[in-house]
Structure 1
């Protein structure tokens, strides 16, 4: 029944009590029938892309539902009865207008995936931590100010998308998420990270772009599985020493910070293959940059360099150097081309 411009679902549909799958995506439905609960054998419900603003209380009687997709509707709230759907494994609520979740959402203990991208959530109920089987969680593009302390109970989670919210801090319990591999937290208001962040022993990707960070806790250096970190558009004045301890960290982005000088400690980042320091007001780069011999991509564009950093001639594996929009004289640009004849130099 997809894509048929339906404005109303006929009531007789709810008399098919043996129905297991109902797909009515991309119609123009404003509501679902009050007797939806008669579909006691329904296992999958897909109403993607309609105009539904409220769900009937009777949905709680569809006790065999395992997968529900309400993406791209106009839901402003969920009925409390949805918390009775204890067989649910997948709950997709992206692109609605939800301002809060039912307090008893934690009763849905079989959920492995819950998607809440692009809503208007300002917080999560404490019972959210009871959803201990969740492996993937998307809370991006909401209005979340904080996360409940119970968040640390989501011990099976390996993927967390929390970008584009209003978060000022992470709960200290975040360190309990030992299986978490990817965190996307850009575009928030984070000014500091808790020491417990260093306990995320499986973390491989951490995106903290466009926050308010100026320092990292020393425990950050314990994230030995980390391979990619994005700290662009923050307030750092130097590369944090804790990062130099993570020898598997190959991609590091610090563009649009306040790093005006790159000193000899840059040698401690010899494990990096990609380093972005563009748009920092960078005026000097120590010769020790030449010890970062694994670098393939180096971005020094939009800075205040007046001379070509001598260490660059040691970077024989460099494939791309972006040094546009600096203050290099013509002879300095000529030097770069001489030092790095096989490198794609963007001047």
Structure 2
């Protein structure tokens, strides 16, 4: 009884500290300011009359700004939203990397030719809009650092390639890269396990192929690859179970033929699935799925629940792995003694380990 009485005041003090902490956070949030200087024809920014560290949202769009001072962004440590679209900016300050709390950055409608590499330090960034600029490339390692990015819009630029690191943006839901000069897409797209919308339309005479890994985008709902020079859709697209919208008009398609395309999405998926199955059944046809079958990582059918229990994958995510009936499997212990067991081709932990290019290189056989 005495023990309980002694402990009670301690619990009360802990509760008071928690309440006081919540109050302090609420007071700090109340002190944060939203500053709107949009549509004022500003050519330079006025000297601020308030502490820059108190600004959480800054709107400077529809002005004539040509530069954002380094000292300005370096001191806005609590900034969450920065909107400077529709100005005359040719570059962004390197100090933008100081904005560790920044979640939304809109720099569309400017004259920016490249993004500073320091933008990788904005690790809280969830939305980046850089449409309608003059970007010829993105920072090479942008995908390794912006792990929380959910929307990347870079349409209407001069991009020739997307960096390989783009395939590491595992939180990405929307990727809009239309109206560029894209020659190809990264090979390891299967790592984009949350991608729902992919738009690579209107790269016109430049984009001629889509990678086979596009068929492993397990969350993809919309794909727009219209008005390019694509002649063949990858057979793997027949595995896109969640796909609801497919736009491929304006391409010189040979496979699938136009009469199949005119039957709609379901017709295209059935055609590609049949072609994929025919490919891996034929010993002479060098299909990607056929190689997966050969090396025991794909059996051409959806595994049963009993089969899938031996692999750490979600039943809804992947189509077909060899299960316990595989000759290389040891039933007494969950170890794969023949071919290498995997956690799933689209597992973010693999980070490109099982891309078609790497998996089937003569130097990288299991």
* Same fold, TM-score > 0.5, yes or no: yes
Alignment check: 8 A CA contact 1:104 1:127 kept: no
Q: 1:90-105 to 2 correspondence within 5 Å?
A: 90-105=104-119
Task: Please state how far the C-alpha of 1:127 moved relative to its aligned partner.
Answer: 2.8
**Please, which of 170, 182, 188 is the counterpart of residue 173 of structure 1?**
188
Q: Answer yes or no: is the 8 Å Cα contact 1:194–1:217 preserved in 2.
A: yes
Decide whether the 8 Å contact of 1:212 with 1:235 is kept in 2: yes
More helix by share: 2
Matches of 2:134 and 2:225 in 1, distance apart? Answer: 21
Taking the aligned partners of 2:74 and 2:251, their CA distance within structure 1 comes to 45
Matched, 1:31 2:44: yes
Pair 138,72 (structure 1): closer, same or farther in 2 beyond 3 Å: same
Give a deviation string over 1:241-268, Cα, whole Å, max 9, x none.
Answer: 9x89xx993597xxxxxxxxxxxx79x8
Higher relative contact order (CA 8 A, sep 6+): 2
Task: Give 1:159's match in structure 2, choosing from 151, 167, 174.
Answer: 174
Gaps of 5+ in 1: 1-17, 253-264, 269-347
Structure 2 runs not aligned, ≥5 long: 1-30, 275-366
Give the corresponding residue for 1:21.
34
1:208 is aligned to 225
Task: Determine whether 1:54 maps to 2:67.
Answer: yes
Contact 1:34/1:56, CA 8 A, preserved across alignment: no
Q: CA contact under 8 A between 2:149 and 2:172: conserved in structure 1?
A: yes
- 1:249 paired residue number: 265
| Over 3 Å off, 4+ runs | 33-38, 247-252
Q: 1:222 maps to which residue?
A: 239
Higher relative strand content: 1
Q: How far did 1:35 drift?
A: 6.3
Number of residues paired by the alignment?
236
CA deviation vs aligned residue, 1:124-152 (integer Å, no higher than 9, x gap): 00231111111111111011000111101
Judged with a 3 Å threshold, the aligned counterparts in structure 2 of structure 1 residues 210 and 173 are, in CA distance, closer, same or farther, namely: same
How far apart are 1:239 and its partner, in Å?
2.2
What's 2:90 paired with?
76
| Aligned equivalents of 2:163, 2:153: Cα separation in 1 | 16
224 and 69 in structure 1: CA distance in 2 versus 1, 3 angstrom threshold: same
Name the SS for the 1:40 alignment partner: helix
| Matches of 2:131 and 2:89, distance apart in 1 | 13
What is the root-mean-square deviation in Å for CA atoms of aligned residues?
2.6
- TM value normalised by structure 2: 0.60
TM-score by length of 1: 0.63
Q: Is contact 2:96-2:118 (8 Å) kept?
A: no
